Homo-oligomer: A and B are copies of this chain.
Amino acid sequence: MSVVLRPSEALNLWHDVTLGLVRDGGHDFSARQITILLTVYLETPPHTVRGLAAKLGVTKPVITRALDTMGALELVSRRRDEADRRNVIIQRTVKGALFVEKIGDLIVARAKDLPR
């Protein structure tokens, strides 16, 4: 199965949702930051800096800096992997889960209001 969407509907949906994020979100996240956040909250753990860097096709410092930013906002947290102390495990937070949930609700609402 799949979600059927025309290009014009797709673009209108994207526009409406990003506008919602800009107007009400408070933060102005980049595509990289959003991708990291959603990856951590949607894909099965564990998540490491190296794994995220490979998945996004960026360097490790990019991930470290994004985690610094989103960690300061308490949207994610970090923990040493005790099994292999070179690794850092990126963990979810209550605040981050609520934020992601809000984004999901926003997309669903804008999709529902989409004229077709």
Contact = CB atoms under 8 A, between A and B. Distances in A.
Contacts of A38: 11, 14-15, 18
| Copies of this protein chain in the complex | 2
Contacts of A30: 28-31
Contacts of A107: 5, 7, 10-11, 13-14
Given A2-B114, A23-B57, A104-B8, A31 B32 contact: no
Given A4-B111, A11-B38, A57-B23, A28 B32 contact: yes
Interface of A: 1-15, 17-19, 21-23, 25, 28-32, 34-35, 38-39, 41-42, 55-58, 100-101, 103-105, 107-108, 111-116
